[in-house]
Amino acid sequence: MTHVAVIGSQWGDEGKGKVVDWLSERAEVIVRFQGGHNAGHTLVVDGVTYKLSLLPSGVVRPNKLSIIGNGVVIDPHALFNEIERVSAQGLHITPENLMIADNAALILPVHQHMDGIGEKLRGASKIGTTNRGIGPAYEDKIGRRAIRVCDLGEPEVLASKVDSLLAYHAVMMDYAELPPINKAELLDGLRSISARLLSHARPVWRVLRQASMDRKHILFEGAQGTMLDIDHGTYPFVTSSNTIAGCAATGSGMGVGALNYVLGITKAYTTRVGSGPFPTELTDDIGKRLGERGHEFGTVTGRARRCGWFDAVMVRQAVHIGGLNGIALTKLDVLDGLDELRICVGYRLGDRTLDYFPAGQNAQAHVEPIYETIEGWSDTTHGCRTWKDLPAAAIKYIRRIEELIECPVAMLSTSPKREDTILVRDPFLG
C-alpha cells in the first residue's frame, strides 16, 4: 500500500495535470486537498482535452473515486458549471464517484466582491489574484465565520451564520461604495443548490480511512506550487492556502503518516503568473521563446506566464520543505534547440552570497541569480520514451539538476501526451 502526494515545486503551472492523470490510472482514490477554482489542470485522454479546476483528475477515468477535501474552498456554482461542462464531454459525475467533505468551506458572491476590493486597495502592490474569492473565503474560514457544506442541511444555523458573515463584510462594502449583499437573494441562491451539493457531501475522513484499511492506492492532488504557499512562498505574492505535502493530511482528514511518497512536479525551466519576485526571469528573446514553445498561458485565467531559467536554489528549498522523495521533470522538450542553458545555483544580495531564497520581501525582490552555464542540445527530446532516446547533453542537464536540488528524477515528461513519459521509479511502488 502506497499513498502518493503530488505537489508543485515552483510557482504552479508545472504540468501537474498530465502527471496526476498518469498516476490516477494506478490509484483507486484521488483527492484534492487545498485551493479553489483558481487552480487549473489540463488533461488529454484518448485525444480529448479536459480542463479541470475544482474536480480531481480522477473524474476523467471510470471506476475511480474522486474526493474534494476539507482544505478546498468551494464555489458551488463554479463546481456545478464544471460538472456540466465535463458531462457534455461524456463524463458521468455522480455522488458515488465524487464526494465532497461536509466540513469544507464555501465561496460566496460576497467573497468575490471582497477580492476585487482588496486588489483595488493594494494599488501598485496588488497580488495579482484571480478575483474568484479564494482568499476572502479562506479569511472567513480562519475567522470562524465561514459557511460550510454541512450548514446547508441546517437552515436555522445557515441563516444565523449568513447574518454574521454579511454584518462583518458590510463595513468594507460600504467603504467601497458598493450596495450591501442582499441576504434573501444569498439564501435563495444557497437553497437552490443545497440538495444537489449535499448529495455529494460525506465525512470524507472516514471514507479515506476505510480506503486505506482496504489497502487502496490514494493519490493526493495538490494545486499551485510550493513558492505560492501562504507560509513558505513569496509572501505576500502567494495563494491563500498551504500548498506543500503536509497539507494533504490536514486538507483531507488523513493522518500525516499516511503519506508514503511525495512527488514534486518540476518544470525544466521556471514560470510564474501574476506579480511577485522572480530572480531568473527572462524578458529577452529567450524568455519569449520559452513562453511560445511552452504554450505558457494559464489554464484558468488565460494570462501569459513569465518565463525564466531553471532555479535550482528555489527547487532545492521546495524539496526540503515539502519532503520530496522524487520529482517529475516536465517540458524538457521546450529547451530543444538552445545552444546553451543556464541554471541558477545561488543568489547575490548586496555583498552576500546566499544558497537559499530569503523570506524578506525586500530581499526577495533584490536577489540576483548566480548562474552556471551548461551545454544545450540540437536534437529533439519531444516524445522520447526511454533514456536512450535522449540526447547526451539533455541527460547531462537532468543529472546536474538532480545534484543541485538533492532529489532524484522519478519521472520525465517529454510532451503533453501521457504516453510520452519516461518512468524511472513508480511512486506507487515506494
Going from N- to C-terminal start, the domains of the chain cover: 105-197, 266-429
Question: Can you tell me the mean pLDDT for 362-373?
Answer: 97
Residue identified by cell 489540463 is 42
Question: Can you tell me the mean pLDDT for 344-368?
Answer: 97
Distances (CA, A) of 337 to 21, 282, 392: 29, 17, 14
User: What architecture is domain 105-197?
Assistant: Orthogonal Bundle (1.10)
- For domain 266-429, give the fold: Adenylosuccinate Synthetase; Chain A, domain 3 (3.90.170)
**With pLDDT > 70 as the criterion, what percentage of the chain qualifies?**
96
For 29-81, what is each residue's pLDDT tens digit? 999 999 999 777 777 777 788 888 999 988 998 899 999 999 999 999 999 99
Look up residue 295 and give its amino acid. H
Query: Which phi and psi angles does 251 have, rounded to 5°?
Result: -85, 0
Enter the C-alpha cell of residue 254.
Answer: 488523513
Q: For position 1, what pLDDT does the model report?
A: 58
360 versus 130: the higher-pLDDT residue is 360
Establish whether 13 is a catalytic residue: yes
Residue identified by cell 435563495 is 188
Hey, do 105-197 and 266-429 end up sharing a CATH topology, with the first three levels equal? Answer: no
Q: Taking each helix axis as running N to C, give the angle between helix 134-142 and helix 109-122, from 0 to 180 degrees, rounded to the nearest 10.
A: 100
Q: Which of 3, 21, 37, 41 is catalytic?
A: 41
Q: For position 172, what pLDDT does the model report?
A: 85
* 3-state SS assignment for residue 255: coil
Other beta carbons less than 10 A from residue 96's beta carbon: 9
pLDDT at 261 over 80: yes
Q: Which of 3, 13, 115, 217 is catalytic?
A: 13
Nearest-CA neighbor of 203 among 253, 148, 135?
253
Statement: the pTM of the whole predicted model exceeds 0.85:
yes
Are the C-beta atoms of 53 and 78 separated by less than 8 Å? yes
Which is it for strands 340-349 and 352-354: parallel, antiparallel or unpaired?
A: antiparallel
Which is it for strands 73-74 and 29-32: parallel, antiparallel or unpaired?
A: unpaired
